[in-house]
Structure 1
């Protein structure tokens, strides 16, 4: 049954949030789901940023339950898309996963983050490296025409535990090339590289291992490894994956970037801690 949201009170609390309605939901597995909400007219963001998203307290009187979510839709979209895992008994995701079109959520008014093109120096090849729901910001970045104006090639890697967890696989292998805005730009320039860690798969194992042993590069005919002269990278996913890939990039001569000082690669420290 769809959960009915209580109104947020007092008025001063409501003013801190947009209160959009859900437009659609999609179930990928029993744990993974996506949904989109109305984009408030005043809401502006850069592709790759995150925003606080949540629900009012169930009793209607306490503090709302909130967490940071990367926006999966590009900066030009009329809707805001999100990709989430549903944690059993999780204070927020267990409730979000039960919502349907027409239900309301709380949306922060100040998107932010470092997983944006502005935090990278110019390059020719962009690696968007994800595990789990860390794929979300890459769905935003790769659908932004500016990405294709700045880079000759974009490589999206997505590491999950089970094959069924490869959400958006059809989009990344087919539908993206039919996108009216960036489909032609991505054709022949977007490479998708999924890996699975706990089931048989044609590309098994963690992305860190496939970077270290060179499989990522040989499989896609990308040379012998990362090159800081031409390559740029963005990282989002589990803390362990981000830490390990960042170490490999640093060993290859990459420097971490930020909004204030662009560099060769970026990660979102608000998520990693």
Structure 2
């Protein structure tokens, strides 16, 4: 539950406009990746796919960074998926949190990876690398995603096989979920690896350019009449995937100007 005091247990002030929430679960996947869940304020509302600023109560002026909410908008807790950055001003400390610790979160969510920023379509592509899968972890657990699209394809590219585990576990679990499981049978999860042996190797943009992505899935190439896209990952990946979608005729949209694809440009450390 949220702390009622204006100070943390360590005596640091809780800044105005900030919730102080309790860590309820922490799971480490590799020496670089972990997820954690915190309590959700009763008054907090967000759209699946949005991000918010989170920090730790370990200084007079806490460091805040943007984190996509990985849990869906209906969940009673908030989940996050994070990279561990050696020497990072936030993640150096965040990776050490345990159940019962306090995490700070600003009260206003935002972001472009929301369904409202896309024009109606038939097939939704979610392109991610690494922890860029986090907003899609939210969206594939939201019934609205399947109500708006006949088919949902989530792609994730990582350096190693171990880094795929969070997404693989999630994609399997969502199909058994009592709320969205039946609808999520229409979800397809396409994984690629760049630095180890794996059934599919390579960057997603190269696999699009060669046509292997579409051949592997048994689908037609992307068209602006049918397809919508969302992109979240490294800066280089955003640039290259944006160019690839524009090559298929898609146009970047935003919250105030919906179109055929959207890009998230908020990053952790």
TM-score interval w.r.t. the shorter chain?
A: over 0.9
1:65 Cα deviation from its structure 2 partner: 1.0
Secondary structure of 2:183's partner?
A: helix
Query: 1:209 corresponds to which residue?
Result: 206
RMSD of aligned alpha carbons: 1.5
> CA deviation digits over 1:133-155, x for unaligned, max 9?
00000000111100000000000
Q: For the Cα contact (< 8 Å) 1:22–1:101, is it kept in 2?
A: yes
Alignment of 1:4-23 (within 5 A): 6-9=10-13, 14-23=15-24
Higher mean C-alpha displacement, 177-186 vs 166-175: 166-175
Query: 2:166 corresponds to which residue?
Result: 168
CA distance, structure 2, for counterparts of residue 52 and residue 145 of structure 1: 25
Alignment of 1:142-153 (within 5 A): 142-153=140-151
257, 262, 269: which one aligns with 2:265: 269
184, 190, 193: which one aligns with 1:193: 190
Secondary structure of 1:269's partner?
A: coil
Q: For the Cα contact (< 8 Å) 2:25–2:98, is it kept in 1?
A: yes
Q: For the Cα contact (< 8 Å) 1:5–1:103, is it kept in 2?
A: no
CA distance, structure 2, for counterparts of residue 254 and residue 7 of structure 1: 51
CA distance, structure 2, for counterparts of residue 27 and residue 82 of structure 1: 12
Secondary structure of 2:111's partner?
A: coil
Structure 1 outlier segments of 4+, above 4 Å: none
CA distance, structure 1, for counterparts of residue 37 and residue 93 of structure 2: 15
Q: For the Cα contact (< 8 Å) 1:172–1:192, is it kept in 2?
A: no
CA distance, structure 2, for counterparts of residue 48 and residue 216 of structure 1: 24
Query: 2:62 corresponds to which residue?
Result: 64
CA distance, structure 2, for counterparts of residue 87 and residue 6 of structure 1: 24
**Cα pair distance change 1:216/1:98, threshold 3 Å:** same
Secondary structure of 2:116's partner?
A: helix
Query: 2:92 corresponds to which residue?
Result: 94
1:6 Cα deviation from its structure 2 partner: 2.6
Q: TM-score, normalised by structure 2?
A: 0.94
**Cα pair distance change 1:198/1:135, threshold 3 Å:** same
Q: For the Cα contact (< 8 Å) 2:125–2:229, is it kept in 1?
A: yes
CA distance, structure 1, for counterparts of residue 11 and residue 209 of structure 2: 51
CA distance, structure 1, for counterparts of residue 92 and residue 16 of structure 2: 25
Higher mean C-alpha displacement, 167-176 vs 149-158: 167-176
Q: Which runs of 5+ in 2 are unaligned?
A: 1-7
1:5 Cα deviation from its structure 2 partner: 6.4
1:50 Cα deviation from its structure 2 partner: 0.3
CA distance, structure 2, for counterparts of residue 155 and residue 48 of structure 1: 15
1:251 and 2:234 aligned: no
Secondary structure of 2:259's partner?
A: coil
Query: 1:26 corresponds to which residue?
Result: 27
CA distance, structure 2, for counterparts of residue 5 and residue 99 of structure 1: 15
CA distance, structure 2, for counterparts of residue 25 and residue 271 of structure 1: 21
CA distance, structure 2, for counterparts of residue 85 and residue 143 of structure 1: 22
Query: 1:236 corresponds to which residue?
Result: 232
Query: 2:4 corresponds to which residue?
Result: none
Number of equivalences: 261
Q: TM-score, normalised by structure 1?
A: 0.92
Q: For the Cα contact (< 8 Å) 1:8–1:14, is it kept in 2?
A: no
CA distance, structure 1, for counterparts of residue 171 and residue 41 of structure 2: 31
Query: 1:138 corresponds to which residue?
Result: 136
